[in-house]
Amino acid sequence: MFEKVLIANRGEVALRIHRACREMGIRTVAVHSEADANAMHVRLADEAVCIGPARSSESYLNKSAIISAALITGADAIHPGFGFLSENADFAEMVEAHGITFIGPTVEQMRLMGDKITARKAAEEAGLPITPGSPALESVEHAIEWANKIGYPVIVKAKDGGGGKGMKTAFNDEEMAEAFTMAKAEAKASFPSDVVYMEKYLQHPRHIEMQILADKYGHVVHLGERDCSIQRNNQKVIEESPSPALNNQQRQEIGEIVRKAIEKIGYTNAGTLEFLYEDGKFYFMEMNTRLQVEHPVTEAITGIDIVREQIRIASGASLGYTQEDIQFHGHAIECRINAEDPETFVPCPGKINEWHAPGGLGVRVDSEIYSGYSIPPFYDSMIAKLIVHGKTRNAALMRLRRALEEFVIDGVNTTIPLQQAIISQAEFIDGQYDIHWLEHFMKSRKSENEE
Ligand code: ADP
């Protein structure tokens, strides 16, 4: 087992990884920007190294500074968390070249899955259902030709895309020209490559993803699904497990398909396969080769510490359990709490005057915040994740309502009022929502307010 792990991230996920390491008796190294010297994970880690100025490009994305910090402190592994360098295969390759273990899949697996076009191909060959789609698109004419082959509506995506960027829908030939040009321009600005392709655009799907764990000896388990359909601008807002849309048999069926596919691909460590789900059918979208923000809902219903498993697998340990050993208990829901205006979503960094997180049975809060902490303006605005667990979905919902009520965050605006409004809607309570539900809900709220 590793003796010392460097955590190449910030915020709540850095603390999350620190906690798993401490429980395993592993020492931790925090790396931080100049703006994060007072962060909780920096205070708690055994050692801390400042790796650069506030800007991410000069600190949390600064590969050589992070690797130097690992070498100086003698860390034998690096956990990348999510975001930042977590899906950067070049970084993983550099880490391994320095004799340090990258806690994640292999460099080749990251490259394969990081490219949406090769990932779709690998997924299809491994038996996963995929959305009808095109190869890389060369020109507007080529795009129009493919769109007519697939049938409108379609969605143009960047092959290296992520974070909901670089995606444009088209409902006809005229829209196609613009969608192609805009997606390409966005891809060029945000990603290493401006290559785009298209997929059939599903009009009212849910986003359902499957969590898997795989060791280096061919053992693969799935930990069930997460429903992440409550989204705004393709960003998840609330996640839950199990999905209100699936029954046990459907869960087992897709779980088995996924498990076999992962065996076939030979993927290792933790990963998530994202699907769209419409009219009883699954369509593979992409695989995330890292820890996900919403992993705690899966931890709640399975009792498995996913970060601990990532570290164990990377160190060469065998899973030590099979699919039959995985038991699902109750229902869990997560709210991502952002320091943002709940109506306009304008980020609201600043000083937290008072912080009181809810607690009690079935309540987990993952956050770096403490009273007196100042949220720096340079990073993602998510400041906390509230996860509740109950015997049934209804019990989890009641608990979520009570926990959101208890939360006190004074000094900055947060998205808590929006979360409270969402969970009191009949459609949410009934589990009847698709990926567009939140946008519709927000629009109707806005026009009500204007009247
Ligand atoms: P990213 O890697 O940027 O997160 P994804 O491919 O995972 O992009 O897609 C993000 C979101 O975009 C999905 O959760 C879904 O809401 C929407 N989306 C993506 N592909 C499709 C599609 N073929 N049809 C309808 N919606 C889609």
Q: What pLDDT does residue 165 have?
A: 82
Percent of all residues in the chain with a pLDDT value above 70, rounded to a whole number: 100
Distance CA 361, CA 154 (A): 45
Q: What's residue 163's pLDDT?
A: 77
Q: Whose CA is nearest to atom 6 of ligand 1?
A: 285
Domain identity same for 178 and 137: yes
The CB density around residue 450, as the number of other CB atoms within 10 Å, is 6
Residue 121 lies in a domain: no
Q: Do residues 221 and 171 share a domain?
A: no
Q: Are 395 and 330 in contact (CB under 8 A)?
A: yes
Whether residues 188 and 252 share a domain: the answer is no
Question: Is 222 within 8 Å of 258 (Cβ atoms)?
Answer: yes
Q: How confident is the model at residue 450 (pLDDT cuts 50, 70, 90)?
A: confident
- Select from 143, 176, 200 the last residue of a domain: 200
177 plus 295 within the same structural domain: no
Indicate the residue among 103, 122, 145 that finishes a domain. 103
Q: Are 210 and 222 in contact (CB under 8 A)?
A: yes
How large is the average pLDDT for residues 363-383? 97
- Kindly give the distance from the C-alpha atom of residue 71 to the centroid of ligand 1, in angstroms, as a whole number: 38
Q: What is the per-residue pLDDT for 344? A: 87
Residue 155: what pLDDT? Answer: 97
Place of tokens 């919902």: 397
**pLDDT tens, position by position, 177-227:** 999 999 999 999 999 899 999 999 999 999 999 999 999 999 999 999 999
Interval between CA 234 and ligand 1 midpoint (Å):
7
Q: Give Cα 311 to chain centroid, integer Å.
A: 18
Q: Which contiguous run of DSSP H or E holds residue 148?
A: helix 140-150
Asked whether residue 451 carries a pLDDT value surpassing 80, the answer given is no
**In Å, how far from its chain's centre is CA 112?**
18
**183 and 237 together in one domain:** no
Same domain, 95 and 227: no
Question: Does the residue 114 lie in any domain?
Answer: no
Structure-model confidence comparison of residues 347 and 342, the more confident one = 347
Give pairs for 112-117: CB < 8 Å, separation 24+. 112/265, 113/267, 113/271, 113/286, 113/287, 113/288, 113/289, 114/87, 114/89, 114/160, 114/289, 115/159, 115/160, 116/157, 116/158, 116/159, 116/160, 116/161, 116/197, 116/286, 117/159, 117/195, 117/197
- Of the pLDDT bands very low, low, confident and very high (cuts 50, 70, 90), residue 446 is confident
Q: Is the pLDDT of residue 407 over 80?
A: yes
Distance CA 271, CA 109 (A): 11
22 is catalytic: no
Q: Which residue's CA is minimally distant from atom 2 of ligand 1? A: 162
Nearest-angstrom CA–CA distance, 240 and 112: 28
Domain count, the chain: 3
Residues with CB under 6 A from ligand 1: 131, 155, 161-165, 167, 199-202, 205, 207, 231, 234, 274, 276, 285-286, 435
CATH number at residue 181: 3.30.1490.20
Q: Which atom of ligand 1 is nearest to the CA of 164?
A: 3
Q: Which atom of ligand 1 is nearest to the CA of 228?
A: 14
Structure tokens at 21: 């390491």
Domain around 370? 206-450
Other C-beta atoms closer than 10 Å to the C-beta of 215 total 19
Residue 298 lies in a domain: yes
Atom 12, ligand 1: which residue's CA is nearest?
234
**Whether residue 212 is found in the same domain as residue 182:** no
Residue type, 373: Y
pLDDT at 16 over 80: yes
Average pLDDT of the chain?
96
pLDDT digits (tens, 9 = 90+) for 140-188: 999 999 999 999 999 999 999 887 788 999 999 999 999 999 999 999 9
* Alpha-carbon span 276 to 278, nearest angstrom: 7
Give the separation between CA 407 and CA 396, rounded to whole angstroms. Answer: 16
Q: Are residues 43 and 171 in the same domain?
A: no
Assess contact for 416 and 407: CB atoms under 8 A: yes
Q: Are residues 168 and 211 in the same domain?
A: no
Would residue 323 count as lying in a domain?
yes
Three-state secondary-structure class, residue 390: strand
Confirm whether 123 is domain-assigned. no
Residue of 206, 290, 312, 399 marked active site: 290
- Is the pLDDT reported for residue 37 higher than 80? yes
Same domain flag for 137 and 224: no
55 lies in the same domain as 185: no
Question: Residue 78 domain-assigned?
Answer: yes
Q: Considering only 36-45, 246-255, 442-451, which range has the smallest mean pLDDT?
A: 442-451
Q: What percent of the chain has pLDDT over 90?
A: 95
Asked if residue 221 is part of any domain, the answer here is yes
- In a domain, residue 108? The reply is no
Give yes or no: residues 226 and 144 share one domain.
no
